[in-house]
Structure 1
Amino acid sequence: MAKALKKQALGRGLSALLKDPENDIKSVGDTNADKVVGNIIELELDSIEINPFQPRTNFNEETLKELATSIRELGVIQPITVRKTDFNKYQLISGERRLRASKLAGLTTIPAYIRIANDNESLVMALVENIQRHDLDPIEVALSYQRLIDEIQLTQEQMSERVGKKRSTITNYLRLLRLDPIIQTGIRDGFISMGHGRAIINIEDHDIQTDIYHKIILENLSVRETEALVKAYQEGVTATNDKEAPKKKFSYTISENQKKVFTDFFGAKVDVKIAANGKGKINVPFHSAEDLERILKLLEK
C-alpha cells in the first residue's frame, strides 16, 4: 500500500511540473526531462487527444463497459502512452480502450507514460534500468517488457541482449499480461506469486481464471497445488468433450463378389472382418511353407 501511495504522489507531483509554463519540457535536453521519461504521470483526460492515424476505429461497447467496471473497482492497471504535442497537450500513442473506458468510468485523470521529442534511447535506458531493479513486482516487469515491444519495436531477442535475461524468462513475464486484471492486481499486491500466475495462465477463460485465483487465496494453495488444480480442470474439460463428442459408426459391408476378388487373387478362402469403428482384419490362410512362399510372391508383384 505504501508503495502504491508513493507512486501516486510521484505521479501527481510530475503532473504539476508539466502544467508549469516555466517548465515546458519539449525534448530530452530540457531541464527536468529526466524526471518525465520512464515515469508514470497522472494526466487530465481532457488534455489527451486521440491519434487521428489510429487504425482501429471500432470498439465493442459491451467490452468497454466491462473494462470501465473493472477500472472503477481496480483503477487503470496498465498506464496509457502519449506523446507531448504542446504545453499541457498530448496525443495518444497506445491505450485507446483504456482511455475510453476511463471516461465511461467517470475518471478525470489517467496514469500515462509521456514520450517527448528524441527520447527514444532515453526511454530504452530508463526501462532497462527499471527492469533491473529488485523491488519491482512481476507485473511491473512485464509491463516494462511490453513497452519495449510496443514503443521501441524491440524483439524478444533484442530485449534479451539489452537486459541480460533469457528469452524464455521474458516470455514468461509477458504471458502474465494475459491474466484477468483482478489476478494481475493480486500478483502486484502480493496475494499470489508469479508461479501461481504462470499456472493459471494455462486456462484461457477469465471467469475460470478468477475462480481458481479465489480458491488459491481461500485455501492458501501452493504453486504445486495450483498446477495440479489447473491440470485437473483441463483433464476434466477434455474428458467432457470426449464424452460429448458423437461416436461415428462405420457402416460398410463387404459383398460376396468382393470376397471372391480376394479369394481368386490369393488362391485361398480369405476371411474379411470389419468392426463398427471401421477397423478390421484380412485373414489369408496358408497350409504349408510352400503355400506361404506362393502368397508372398503374389504380394511382391
Structure 2
Amino acid sequence: MEKAMKRAALGRGLGALIPGVSAGERRGVVTVAIEEIRPSPGQPRRHFDDAHLEELGESIRSRGVLLPLLVRRDGDGYLLIAGERRWRAAQRAGLHELPVIVRDVTEPEAFEIALIENIQREDLNAVEEAEAYQRLIEHHGLTQEELAQRVGKDRSTIANAIRLLRLPDSIKEAVASGDLSMGHARALLGLTDDGDLRKAAEKVMREDLSVRQVEELVQRLKGKRAQRARRDEATTQLRHLAERLQRKLGAKVDLKDRGGSGSVEIRYASHAELDRIISAILGEG
C-alpha cells in the first residue's frame, strides 16, 4: 500500500510537470541502473550550475529521487528525455539506480517534451530557450504562433526570444552565463553593427549599467553611426561630383565641404591650361 501511494504521488508530480504523460505511464515507474541512462545529444539545456547540482545531490543523498526521470529506449539502454539535472546530481550522490518512466516517442517528440519540461521548470537560460524555439520552428515547420500555443507562451515572447540569436556569440555567452540579463540583451538588439554591440556589451558589464542606461547608450551609439553614415554619404557624393568636373574640364578638381559651405579648387599647370579650363567653364570655343 505504501509503495502504491508513493507511486501515485510521483505520478501526480510528473503529470503536472510534463504534458502528455498518461495515467497508465504514471503507474509504470520502473527502476533502472544509472549507467544504462545517457543524456540526449539533442537536450536543449547545456549549462548546469555546479553549486545547484551539489545542493540537489545532497537532497537526493538524504531523500532519494522524488520525481522519476522520463526516458526512451535506445539500444540496450535509455536516452534521457527529461530529468538530466536529477541524473547528474544522482551520480554525485552515489546512487546506482533511478526511477524512470519509459516513453515510446520519436526524437523530435522527445525534444519537444524536453523543451516544455525545461520551460515549465525555468531550467533554460534565455539563449538555450531561444535556440530550442528556433530548432522547433525549423525542424517541425511550425509558425511562431503555432509554437507559442504548443509551449503555452505568447507569440511576442517567442519572437523576442528568437531575436536574441542575432547577437554575436560573445554576447550570447554572456547572456547564457548570467553576466547580461535578458533586458540588457533586448536593449542591445537596437544596435546592428557587431563592433558597436561588443563595445556596448563590454561597457555594460564593466560599469554594471541598468537596462535604462543601456537603452540610452544604444541611442547615443545609433546617433553617432547615423551621423557617420551621413558624413560618408556626403563624401561619396562630393567625390562623384569632383570626378564629373574633372572629366568635363580635363583638370584636377577638389571639392571641400564644411557643413553646407565649402570650396571648389581647380588646378592648372600653365596659363594656356587655365585659358582652356575657363573656356570650358564658360562654354566658349
Smaller-chain TM-score range? 0.3 to 0.5
- TM-score normalised by length of structure 2: 0.47
- TM-score normalised by length of structure 1: 0.45
Higher normalized helix content (fraction of residues): 2
